[in-house]
Structure 1
Amino acid sequence: MKQLIAIMLLTFVFAGCKQDNKKSFTVNGTVTNTQAKKAYLEEVPVASMQPVIVDSAEIRGGKFSLKTEALEDAIYNIRLDQLDFPVASVINDAPEVDLNIVMSTETPLMPEKFEVKNSPASQAMKAFMLAFNEKMIRLMNNVHKADSLRSTKMADSSLAPLMQNIRQEGAALKDYALTEIKKGVNPALSMFELGYYQSTANGQALGLEPFDNKQVFALIDDITKKFPNHVSVAGLKLNLQQEIKAAEDRTWIGKQAPDFTLPDVSGKPVSLGSFKGQYVLVDFWAGWCRPCRAENPNVVAVFNKYKSKGFAVLGVSLDDDANSWKNAIQNDKLAWTQVSDLKKWQSPVVALYKFNGIPFNVLIDPQGKIIAEGLRGIDLENKLAVIFP
């Protein structure tokens, strides 16, 4: 469910209302250190975040002018020739925006920097991206350091301070995004900041915690109150109400974990209910699943770290060959209880837990309630660090 908002911000198109009061918007641009012949202006509607080319112009003497008409404030990308990515982005909060783009001399297809004038919202958006990315780079560097420490089997005492630092940096990055969103100086800017954080939190293995659905809805509701005439944000709010309800119906979080019984490697029946009273990670995997095997070292690390504190793992394999299953358990050093009926995708647990891909897991509290799902990598470590401080 945590990916719902990122998907919504990237895919939903609201087209149910019409306005007649269009306003003109012009980007007067200069670009240096480039051989590009043409510039393109792409509108990125607040509701859809799907770029649409609205104008193009020849670059003459390093200068270009792009024009369009808009119903309301939105994000606009500037692209050069056939580049797959924009070299700058602006917001149409003023009739004309002056833009100066400097391309890199070392990497000609990449922008080195850009300056924007006459647009407070565009300047604020640029400042947000620069500050956010600077914080994220520091976080990424520490995550990579933690991965290196794990691969060298360093003691937990060496890893613990770094993990604490990662959690603090992640929380600080989330707080920064929230503060900027709540400033609410422009609806397009606030929605951009929200989408920027959510897509980063959902798309990077950084342990960032996305805003949950209730938080996102509250933020969008606040934006609609500040800017009641912005049609796209109002439309997104209405659509999210329906999508959030549907997502809440699909998620396991907050529900009691369905019990099941499967044979272990020796053929002895093991029930999920027998783990009640512990925090248990039910880990659905298979020996033939490469992503599962790549994730196994992370599960081994947290199991060894927290098994003495009341944490257990129950591995549920979708293998169909007993020897392959047992070899994978031995090779990956999986020292927890493993069960399988060797029916692959025909196993009843697939329909019971309604997943269509592995690795997949659910984290269950001592009362048998599911408190998290789909935890991988540093997200699993961070969740358990909160439970077992």
Structure 2
Amino acid sequence: MKHSILILFATLLVAASCSETSTDGISGTISGAENLSVYFDKVNPDGTNNSLTQVPASGSGKFNIDLEDPLEEGVYRVRIGAKSAYIIHQPSDIGTNISGSIDDFSTYSYSVSGSPLSEEFRSLMNQYVNKQKTIDDMKTAIKGDLHPLISMEAANTLFKSNPAFLDVHGAVNNKLRASYPNSTFTLRHSEMYTLLQNQIAASQRSTGKFRIGDEAPDIALPDPSGKVRKLSDLRGEVVLIDFWASWCGPCRKDNPKVVKIYKKYKDKGFNIFSVSLDGIHPRRLPAYKTQAEVDKQIQASKDRWVGAIEKDQLEWDNHVSELKHWNSNVTKLYGVSSIPQTFLVDREGKIAALNPRYNLEQVLQEFL
């Protein structure tokens, strides 16, 4: 009898021991993953990933990843082919399980149990994918009270290492340093954030001879009707100085976005001062032997400029040009050597941002 009790006790100890070593296990059933390899990766803040292990899914799509050592707190992913489901792991998580179809990975429609932060991240991203949250909603959420690891992965998923979203990555970095000051993922995120800051600084140095906070030099040039329009007349408004031309493909491609932002904020004190670099290219000017030929080409350039304004529906009033192409004096005044080039000027006439093309709306909102 005593011998039987000892055997039973030993069996229970073994069972308990096995249970304890598998608490960090990752399992699931994914339709569409039958007999495929399931990879388990660690996700780094700089966009790289470390593959930790792989297991085969069964004929019914079931998989089980047994982990010998407890997982460190951080971000992981279950990857099948090119699709991934993300896990935001905490030490308190026990036996994370993922279920759904492989197509659910793209829309964050899979189910997660055993990991509350993973489910919160999945739900947040699902709302964005299904247009229940806008990109501005997501930026607000990421900067807000979300758990730092959810904020980090949401920012990396949506914005990657895009310098245009430096403020979002900066907010995430502050949250990580406050909650995980000595963590490896905080260190790597800080390195990524510093790299973005350096990229922006380099871009600003190449933008021209101005710095943020400098007084914006006045511009006084004729519009298509010959009326002289002055930048200084717009003092009190937030103004985007936009250097462009009808012949500039990237400028024309950006125009619909600029028009949309103008319509959205024009009644809140936003205006645009467009400076066209249409005209005769300096290298072609010597080919014209008489002033009549020059005048004819300038008129043709002016027609293309006016045509582009109408076609792109640039409905603001302040369109000016010297019609001198790169011989324009205002390009030298502002240090412009390529277009599109933009400067955001605040209500006091000072430069608030240099070349805010990708994050114009975000920057604009700070000064209206």
Instruction: Give the structure-2-normalised TM-score.
Output: 0.63
Give the fraction of aligned pairs with identical amino acids, expressed as a percent: 20
Of the candidates 232, 248, 258, which is equivalent to residue 185 of structure 2? 232
Q: Distance in 1 between matches of 2:51 and 2:111?
A: 20
Contact preservation (8 Å) 1:27, 1:96: no
Counterpart in the other structure of 1:41: 40
Deviation for aligned residue 1:113: 1.6
Aligned runs of 1:341-352 on 2, under 5 Å?
341-342=322-323, 352=334
Aligned residues: 310
Counterpart in the other structure of 2:110: 113
CA deviations on 1:175-209 (whole Å, 9 max, x unpaired) are 5752123xx5xxx4553255457559999xxxxx8
Contact preservation (8 Å) 1:362, 1:375: no
Counterpart in the other structure of 1:191: 152
Q: Are 1:65 and 2:59 an aligned pair?
A: no
Counterpart in the other structure of 2:292: none
Q: Distance in 2 between matches of 1:348 and 1:97?
A: 68
Q: Distance in 1 between matches of 2:229 and 2:55?
A: 68
Distance 1:139 1:31, change over 3 A: closer
Q: Are 1:178 and 2:144 an aligned pair?
A: yes
Q: Distance in 1 between matches of 2:245 and 2:71?
A: 52
Q: Are 1:31 and 2:30 an aligned pair?
A: yes
CA deviations on 1:98-134 (whole Å, 9 max, x unpaired) are 42321179x89877422232xxxx4213213304542
Worse overlay, 336-345 or 243-252: 243-252
Deviation for aligned residue 1:326: 1.5
Q: Are 1:298 and 2:260 an aligned pair?
A: yes
Counterpart in the other structure of 2:307: 327
Q: Are 1:367 and 2:348 an aligned pair?
A: yes
Aligned runs of 1:225-304 on 2, under 5 Å?
225=181, 228=182, 230-237=183-190, 240-241=193-194, 244=197, 247=200, 250-251=203-204, 253-260=212-219, 264-265=223-224, 272-273=231-232, 275-288=234-247, 289=249, 290-295=252-257, 297-298=259-260, 301-302=263-264
Deviation for aligned residue 1:260: 5.0
Aligned runs of 1:51-200 on 2, under 5 Å?
51-61=49-59, 62-66=61-65, 72-80=72-80, 82=81, 84-91=82-89, 93=91, 97-103=95-101, 112-117=109-114, 122-131=115-124, 133-134=126-127, 137-140=131-134, 170=136, 174-175=140-141, 178-181=144-147, 188-189=149-150, 191-196=152-157
Contact preservation (8 Å) 1:104, 1:111: no
Structure 1: gaps spanning 5 or more residues: 1-23, 144-169, 204-208
Q: Distance in 2 between matches of 1:356 and 1:250?
A: 13
Distance 1:175 1:302, change over 3 A: closer
Contact preservation (8 Å) 1:224, 1:234: no
CA deviations on 1:70-114 (whole Å, 9 max, x unpaired) are 99433221122x3x2214435374797442321179x89877422
Describe the SS at the equivalent of 1:79.
strand
Describe the SS at the equivalent of 1:180.
coil
Q: Are 1:315 and 2:274 an aligned pair?
A: yes
Distance 1:52 1:347, change over 3 A: farther
Q: Distance in 2 between matches of 1:27 and 1:92?
A: 13
Contact preservation (8 Å) 1:280, 1:363: yes
Quote the RMSD (CA, aligned, Å).
Answer: 4.6
Distance 1:254 1:356, change over 3 A: same
CA deviations on 1:117-162 (whole Å, 9 max, x unpaired) are 2xxxx4213213304542672344xx9xxxxxxxxxxxxxxxxxxx
Contact preservation (8 Å) 1:75, 1:92: no
Counterpart in the other structure of 1:379: 361
Structure 2: gaps spanning 5 or more residues: 1-22, 205-210, 280-300
Instruction: Give the structure-1-normalised TM-score.
Output: 0.60
Q: Distance in 1 between matches of 2:321 and 2:233?
A: 16
Deviation for aligned residue 1:314: 1.1
Q: Distance in 2 between matches of 1:343 and 1:41?
A: 60
Q: Distance in 1 between matches of 2:321 and 2:90?
A: 58
